[in-house]
Amino acid sequence: MSSLLFGIILSALFSVTSLLVVLLRVSPLLSPVQALPAFFLSLFLSISTVTTLLLLAVWKLVPIHSWDTGKLMSISLRQGILLASATIILVVFHLLGLLNWWIAVMIYATFLLIELALEH
């Protein structure tokens, strides 16, 4: 196992644990200054690392291209970060009361088009 893969697995464990701690132990009513940034940061890190690991497994199981592990890791990491960014924007829109189903589709479609525009 490469050190980058080990680092992402370790980061996924820590970020999911921190998300659970924020969800179960931190009250946004008592300390909103610390709770909201901690929630958004842990949610972003959790989604990006878990998605990176899942997409890396998918890219390895479905060998469409003959890329090495480093190239697959960089593509999976980029896709994980884009999905996490879109999800954070979705949660912010929901908190502001601006979210409809078609806005959610447009946000994810925008990030999908950004991913398709990037060169593999």
- What is the C-alpha to C-alpha distance for residues 73 and 53, in angstroms, rounded to an integer? 9
* Number of alpha helices (DSSP H) and beta strands (DSSP E) in the chain: 4, 0
What pLDDT score does 69 carry? 81
Number of Cβ within a 10 Å radius of residue 42: 21
Domain hosting residue 45, numbered range: 3-117
86 within 8 A of 47, measured Cβ to Cβ: no
The more confidently predicted of residues 22 and 67 is 22
What pLDDT score does 19 carry? 92
- 43-58 pLDDT, tens digit per residue, is 999 999 999 999 999 9
73 within 8 A of 106, measured Cβ to Cβ: no
- 60-116 pLDDT, tens digit per residue, is 888 777 878 888 899 999 999 999 999 999 999 999 999 899 999 999 999 999 999
Q: Domains in the chain: how many in total?
A: 1
